[in-house]
Amino acid sequence: MGRRTNPKTQRIKGITAVTALRLIACLPFALNRWAATLLGRLIAAFPTDARRVSEVNLSLCYPDRSEPERRKLARESLVESIKNTFEIALFWRHPDQGLKRVVAVDGDAPLRQAVVDGKPIMILAPHLGCWEVLNFWLATEFGLHAMFAPSGLPEVDDLVLSGREHFGSTMYPTTARGVAGLVRAMKKGALTAILPDQVPDRRSGRHAPFYGQPAYTGTLACKLIRQTGAVTFMAWARRLPGTQGYEIRVRPADPGVADEDLDKALTAMNRSIEHLIDESPSQYLWSYKRFRRPPAGVDTPY
């Protein structure tokens, strides 16, 4: 049996986390960005686990870069990660502030045409840039249907949901019933977004190459694409320098994501994610243990 979670302990954790997030949300955007940059540089200067994991991932994904280049990129990505934490704390509390800072959009014409055509649409949005701002933009422009996995901290979940649903998004639980509801909506022409680079549970994924390395990859997105015939795009919200705001970038996904062969579809999806990351590698969440479930007989790199 798994270890039981103490409800009182979880409540204390939830209240503490929400209090911290709300304190951060009190900072004006310029001060929020300044504080995040300062803290990020401080964290990046020390040999933390996050920096170690980032360096391991970068050594696997960018072996052709020199070690000094990869170390520099790891530090930059940690700073960007702290910026993301601070800004989403602000935007969950004040969603309108996040949306109004979208100052440019690139590559959205094919997406808008697919919406006009009434086709179901899948947006694959990896952990790149500020994904919450992307959520706000998609919800406002097109209406967004997405899945929500509870964190185990109800107080935090309430805060996150209030931000994500502010612009009318429809959220589905990560259950069989929730997936069925999402499929029904997509077949009627709904737009949905999925984070495609999370490590799934052991019943929901397969290994597929990611930057040439076997990465345990969730199968849900490709199955939904094939089942609904969704037109598929990659998208992210690029963080601009200083307090300039965000640029939404939309790109067509590799057509192979709809392949009947699931292994080929997953390979195409990961290849599409790679191309998106390569637009700005420093804004990717390299501190995430993407390779923590290696194939049988292979040791974890961490």
pLDDT at 1: 42
pLDDT at 174: 84
DSSP state of 128: B
pLDDT at 3: 53
Collect the ranges in the chain with pLDDT lower than 70.
1-5
- pLDDT tens figures, 69-79: 999 999 999 99
Phi, psi of 94 (to 5 degrees): -135, 75
* β strands within 166-274, DSSP E: 170-173, 191-194, 205-210, 213-218, 231-239, 246-252
pLDDT at 213: 97
Report pTM: 0.92
pLDDT at 266: 98
Domains defined for the chain, CATH in brackets = 7-283 (3.40.1130)
- pLDDT tens figures, 177-218: 989 999 999 999 999 999 999 999 888 999 999 999 999 999
Please say whether the beta carbons of 300 and 290 come within 8 A.
no
Residue 7 corresponds to which tokens in the numbers above? 């409800």
pLDDT at 244: 97
State how far the Cα of 71 lies from the Cα of 156, in Å rounded to an integer. Answer: 33
**186-217 burial, b if ≥16 CB within 10 A, otherwise e?**
beebbbbbbbbbbbeeeeebbbbebbebebbb
